[in-house]
Structure 1
Amino acid sequence: MPRIGVEQSLTAVQEELKEKGYDVVQLKTEQDAQGCDCCVITGQDQNVMGMSDTTIQGAVIRANGMSAQEVCQEVEERLQNQEQ
C-alpha cells in the first residue's frame, strides 16, 4: 500500500486515509516526507521567498478548503496517475 505523508494538523485526513488502508506518516519535519508516495499539506505555510527544495518525487496536495473525503479522492487520483 502506498505511503502517504500528512501534516500533523490534518487529523481527519489522516484517519480517512488509514480507514482506506494507506500507510500514513505524520509530517513533522522534511525528513518525514522521504519515502512517501504522496504528501498532504495544509497549504498555509507557503514559501513566501519563492524557494523550493524537492523532498519527495511524488505528488504534493494542498488540502486548503477541501474535506477529508475530497483529499482522499485527490490522493487516489494522483497515485493512479503516477502508476501510468
Structure 2
Amino acid sequence: MAFVAVEDELGNVRSALEDAGYRVVGMNPADLRRAQAVVVSGMDIDMLQQEDIRTDVPVINAAGLSAEEIVAAVRERLK
C-alpha cells in the first residue's frame, strides 16, 4: 500500500489512514521523499498563501475535513 506523510497534530487522520491500509509516515525530509501523498493541517500557510511543503505528490489540506473525507481524498488522488 502507499506511503502517506501526515503532520503530527493530525492523529485522528493518521489512525484513519492506517485503518484503511496506508503506511503513514512523518513530515521529515526522508519520509517526504517516499510519500505518495501528503496531508497537512492547513496551518502551515504563510502570509503570501504559500505552503512550506515542496513536493510533486498530491498535498491534501485537512482543514474542515473529517478523517473519513481525508481518507477518501487520498484514495481518489492515488488511483
TM-score (norm 1): 0.81
Answer whether contact 2:44 2:52 (CA < 8 A) is retained: no
Which blocks of at least 5 consecutive residues in structure 1 are unaligned? none
Aligned counterparts of 1:13 and 1:52: Cα–Cα separation in 2:
20
Which blocks of at least 5 consecutive residues in structure 2 are unaligned? none
Answer whether contact 2:3 2:22 (CA < 8 A) is retained: yes
Q: Shift in Å at residue 48 of structure 1? A: 2.2
Q: Shift in Å at residue 34 of structure 1? A: 1.5
1:15 aligns with 2:15: yes
Q: Shift in Å at residue 53 of structure 1? A: 6.8
1:63 aligns with 2:62: yes
Runs ≥4 in structure 1, deviation > 6 angstroms?
Answer: none
Structure 1 stretch 40-49 or stretch 10-19: which is displaced more?
A: 40-49
Higher-Rg structure is: 1
Deviations 1:25-74 (A, max 9, x none): 022x3x13121100000011203245567632210000001000000000
SS of the aligned residue for 1:46 comes to: coil
Percent identity at matched positions?
33
TM-score (norm 2): 0.86
RMSD: 1.8
* 1:53/1:66 CA distance change after superposition, 3 Å: closer
